[in-house]
Structure 1
Amino acid sequence: MVDAGVGSPMTDAASDSGTSLKGVPIRRSLIRNLFLLIVLLTGTILLSTVYTGQRIARSASEALIGSALHSVRGEVHGFTDPVQRSLLLGAQLARTGVVDLDDPAAMNAVFMPLVEEIPQISAVNVGTAEGRGYLLWRFPDRWRNRLVWTDRWGDRIEFSEWSDETTLLRKWTVEEPPEDERYDPRTRDWYRVAVEPDPEVSPSSAVYWTDVYKFFTTGEPGVTAMVRVQDATGHRFVLAYDVALSDLTDFTRRLEVSPNGFAFLLAEDGRVLGLPGLPRFDDPKTREAALLNRPGELGVVVIEDATRRFESLPPDQRGIFSFQSGGETWWADVRPYPLGTNRELTLAALVPQEDLVGIIGEQRLLLAGISMFGFGIATAMAFWLARRYGSPLATLAENSQRIGTLELTGLKQVESNLREVDQLAAEQDRMRLALDAFSRYVPMEIIRELLTRGEAARIGGANREITSLFTDIAGFTTISEHMSPETLMVHVAEYFEELLGIIQADGYGTVTQLNGDGITAMWGAPKDVQDHARRAIHAVVRCQERLVVLNSDWHARGLAPLPTRFGLASGPALIGNVGAASRLVYTAMGDTVNLASRLEGLGRSYGVSVVAAASTREAAGPGFAWRMLDVVRVKGKERPVEVVELLGSDSDVGEKVRRFAARYEEALAFYRSRSFASAVEILEDLLLDDPGDLSVERLLGLARTHAAHPPPEDWDGVSNFDEK
C-alpha cells in the first residue's frame, strides 16, 4: 500500500496549487504592449518625417533621378536591343546559307520581314572581302536593292526596286556611275570597324557599332550595327543594319523623365546623338543643326550649367549631382551605356528639384495620413487581439493548472478559431486522456517521466510510399578550390538555410541527411501524406526560383553561384530507425531512394537541373510541365526506367519551351523506334534554336552513330549508365 500522507504526488501537487501567481493577465499585457508599440512606431515615423525632411529630400531626389535614368536606360535598351537581336537573328540565318549574293530576291525574303518589324532600321548591308556588296534600302512605299562587285564588275552597279518580297517593280544597271556614286563596301566605316579588330570571324554574340558617320545612300548622319559571319561553306562576310540619327533623336525626344525633366544621349566623343524633348527642338531644321554638337553648344542654359558643373566634378564624384540654373536647383544623372562590343554611349537625365519636391511633399502628407489612420486601426485591433488571444489562453492556463493537480475531469471547453490555439487545446486534451489512462495502470511518477523524455526509440521500421529527393551542387569541387574554408562554410550555410527552409516549409518535407554539398529529403514520412510527390515538386520549383535570386545576389557580392541538380523518385521505401542501440538514425532505405540518387547524377549527362522518375510525374498529377528525357538503366537496376525533366509549373512555362520539349520527345520517339534519320533531322533543327543544349547534343550524337552503324536487332533504345 502507499501511504498517502507522506510525500504522495497528490499531496505535493495540491500544496503547489496554493502558491500565489505573479505577473499580469495576458489580455492586459497585450493591450499595454501593443499600445506602447503603436505609439512608439507612429511617433518615430512622424518625428523622422519632421526632423529629417532635408535629408529625405536629398536621398529621395537621388533615388528618383536615379530611377528616372534607370527608366530611360530601359527605354534606350528597348530602342537598340531589337536592332542587335534582329542582327544576330539575321546572322544566324545567314550561317545556314540563306545569304546568296547571286540571289538577291531570296535575301530580300529573309531580311524584309526582319526590317519591317523594327522601324528604326533604315537599311541592310552585306559586304565581302572581294568587294561584293548587297544593300536593302527601305523607302516609305517600296524597297531598293543595290548590288556591287568591285573586283569583278569594276564600277558597275545593279539596281532593282520591289513593292514587296515577290513583286519586282523595275531593274536597271549603271555601267559607269559618277565618281561620287561609285561604291566599294570595303571602304565604308561599317565594314572596316567590323573587320579591323580581328581578322578572324567573331563569336556569334559580338555586335559592333560604328561611330557617327554620313550614310552613302542618303547623306544623313547615322550609326551602323554589324556582325561578322561565316556560313556553312566557309564564306565570310559582314552583315550590317543602319540606324538613322534622326530616328534616334525622335526616340529620345519622346522619353518622359518627369513633368519638366528631359534626357539626351551622347556619343563617346561627347557629341549629341539624341536631342532632349524641349520645345526649341520641335523644328526639324533646328534639330538637324543641333545634332552632333557638344551639349554646351545646344543653346539651352540648363544644359550649359549642367555641363559646367559636370566638368568641374572629380571623375569619382560624377554620377548623380545637383546644380543651380536660373535660380532653381536641378538634379542630373550621367551614366555610361554600353553599346555592343566596342562602343559606350552616355545617358544624361536632368530634372528640376521642384518636380521631385512635389512628389516628396505628397509622400510626406500620405505618410502622415497613413500613420494617423494606422494608429487608430492598430489601437482598435490591440483591444480586439487582446480579447481574441487572451480569453482562450486564459482558459488553457486554467485547465493546465487543474491538470497539474491531477484534476482530469470537468475542464472548460476552449473556444477559438485560431489554429494554434485549437492545436494547443487538442494536445492538452490528448495529454489529459493519456494521463487518465496511464494513471489507471502505472504510478504517476512514471507518467511524469514518460511525459518528460517521450517514448524510447527502437531499431525498426515500416514500409511507406514516399517521394525521395537528392540534390547536389554542380561543380562544387572547383568552387571549393577557389574559396577559403571559412568563406566556403559561411557560403554553403546560407545555401542550406534557404533550401532547407523551403523543403520543410509545409511541415511534410523531412531532411534526413546533409552530405557535403548535397541534401537528402523525403515526403510521406514520418507524416503520412497522399500527395507527397506533388509537395516534393512544389518544393523543388520553389528551390529553383529562390536559387535564381540567390545566385544573382552571390554573384553581385563576389561569391560563386551554386547551380544545383535535383533527383526525384516516388515509390515504396523502408522508413524507420537504423543503426545500433547506442546510435540511431531516422532514414529511408530501398530502391526508390537509390533511384533518386542516381537520377540526380544523370542531370550532369543531360545538362538539366531536375531529373525525375516517371513514377514521380504520374504521382504528382496535373499542374506541372515535363519533358521526356530518355529511358535509362542505372547502376544497380536491371529494369529500365523512364526519366523526365521538370520544366516548372504549368502556368510559368512558356509556349517556346513547350514546343522545344514536344519536338525533343518526337525525336526521342523516332530514335527509340529506330527511325534515326528522322530523329537527326528534328534534333539538328533544335540545335539551331538552342545551341549548346546538352540533351539534344547527346541524343543527336547517338542518332547519327546508329544511322551510320545500325544497332543489333535486339537493341532496346535504353541508355545504360554504369557509374553512380
Structure 2
Amino acid sequence: MFRNSIRQKIVGIAAGLIVLAVITSLLSMVMAGQVGHLLDELTNRYIPAYGHLARVNIRSLERSLAMRRMMMAKMQAPGEDGGYAAARKTFDEIEPAIKREANAARVLIDAIIADPSTPSDNAALGRLDDRIDNAVNDLLMRLNAENKTLLEQLDAQEFAAAKATTLRADVLRDDFSNKIEGIRGDMLAQVASAAAKVMSAQQRAIIISGFVTAIAAILGFVFAMLVGSGITRPVMRLLEGTREVEAGRLDGTIAITTQDEIGQLSAAFNRMIETLRHNQRIRETFGRYINPRIAEGLLEQPAIAATEGQRRIMTVMFCDMKGFTSLSEGVTPRGLVKIMNLYLSTMSAPVHAHRGIIDKYIGDAIMAYWGAPFVEEAEQTHLAALAAIDMVGQVNQLRKDLPELLGVRAIPADCDIRIGIATGEALVGSIGSEFMMSYTVLGDTVNLASRLEGANKFYGSRSLISEATAAACAATIELREIDRLVVVGQTQPVAVFEIIGKKDELSPAQTELRQHYADGLAAYRERRWDDAELAFAAALAAVPNDGPSATLKARVVNFRQNPPAADWDGAWHLESK
C-alpha cells in the first residue's frame, strides 16, 4: 500500500470512508424500514381494530336506547306513531352497523395474524377473533330474538309482557356489552404491546445505527491514520531536515521509507544536502582566500564578478608590522609562518569585528577598507578608527604570545604595528583580467593610506589618519593633529592626525600630552622655536615615550640652526615611503 502514489492513497482513504458511510446508511435504512413497517401495522391494523370494537360497544348502547324510545312512543297516546317510526328506523339500521364493525375488527386481526413479517401474539389475537365471533353470532342472535319478541309485544300493546321481555333483553345486552368491553380491553393490551414493540425496535435501530456508525468511524479513523501516518511521517522528517538545513546544520540525511512522491522528494532532498555540503566546503575554502562577504556575494550573485568599477567614498586602512625584517632573520621558515599566521589572525580580528573588508595580505601588511555596499558611508570612518584602536590594543598580547609560539624566552626585536587610514573617493569593483579578477579599491585614497602607514616610522607613532577621516570620526574618536605632510607622489600638503582613543576615555596624561603638543605645533608653524621646544618638552614630560613630540622637538632644534625658507608653509615633505 505504501508503495502507491499519494494520489492513490488519498483516493483509497476517500473510497474506504465512502464504503463505510454507504454500509452505515444501508443498515440505517433497513432498520428504519423495519420500524416503519411495525409502525404502519400499529396505525393501520391494531388501532383501527380497537376502534371498530369500541364502535361495536357504542352501537349496542345506541340500539338499546332506540328500543326504549320505541317503547315510550308506543306507551304514548294514540296518534304518536311518528316517534315510534323514527326510533324503529334507527333500531333497524344499528344491527348491520354492529356486524360490519365486528367483521371489520376480525378482518384486521386476521391480517395481523397472517403477516409473518411482524412480531405479534397470534394465539391471543386468535382467541380475540373467536370471542368476537361468539359474541356476534351467539349473544347478538339471542338478543335479536328477544328484541323481535319485544317488537311483537309492542305492536300488540302487551306492555306488561313487553316489560318482562325488556328486562331479559337488557340482561343479554349487558352480557354482550361486557363481552365486547372485555374483548376491547384485551385488544387494547395488544395495541400497547404492539406499540412497545415499535418503540423497542426503534430504540434497537438507534442503538445498532449508533454502534455501526461508531465502528465505521473507528475503522475509518484507523484506516486514515495508517495511511495518513505513511504520508505525514516522511513529511515531518522532511520538515525537520529542512529546519536543520535552515539552521545551517548539513550533517544529517533523511531516511527514505516510501516510494511515492514524498520518497522521491526525500531522495532529492538528500542529494540537495550533499550539494549544499559540497558548496559549503567550497565557500569555506574560498572564504580563506577572499573576504567571506565578498566570497558569498560572488557565489550567490556570480554577475558581481562582471560589475564595472564605481567611484565611491571609501575608508582604506594599511597595517604593517614594525621590526618584521629583524624578526624574520632570527627564526626558521616554519617559525616565520607561525609568526605571520598569529600576527595576521590577531590583527584581522578587529577588522572583521568592525565590519571591515580585508582586501589582501601583502607580506606582513594588511590592506582593508570600509564603505558601500558593506557599511553605510556615515559610519565607515568610525568603524575603521575603532578597528585601529582595538588593533593597537592587541599589541601587548601579541608580544606575549610570540615567544611562547616560537618556544623562546624573548623575541629578537620589539614588535609593534603601524596603521595608516585615509578617506576619500576611490574606484571600487571587480578589477582584473579574463584569467583572474579581484574585488578591490584603487585610487589616491589608497595611496595616501599606504603613505600614512609608512609615515609612522618618521613620527614614532602607531596610527595616522587623513584630515578627511579625522573630520568624519571626530565626534566619536579622540584625535590630535600631528603635522602637515606632503607624502611621496603628491604635491599638496595634507593635515595628518593621530588616533588617541575613544571619545571621553583619555587619561589625564594623554589629555595633557594633547594640549602641550597642540601648543607646540602652533608655535612651530609660527616659527617661535623656543616656545615650540618648551611645549614639546612639556608633552614629553607628560608621556616620555611619545614619538611625535620627540620628532617635532628634534626638528625645532634643527630649524633653529637651519631656518626654513621664507615661503615655508609649515608642511613637511616626506622624501621616502
Higher relative contact order (CA 8 A, sep 6+): 2
Higher-strand-fraction structure: 1
Larger radius of gyration: 2
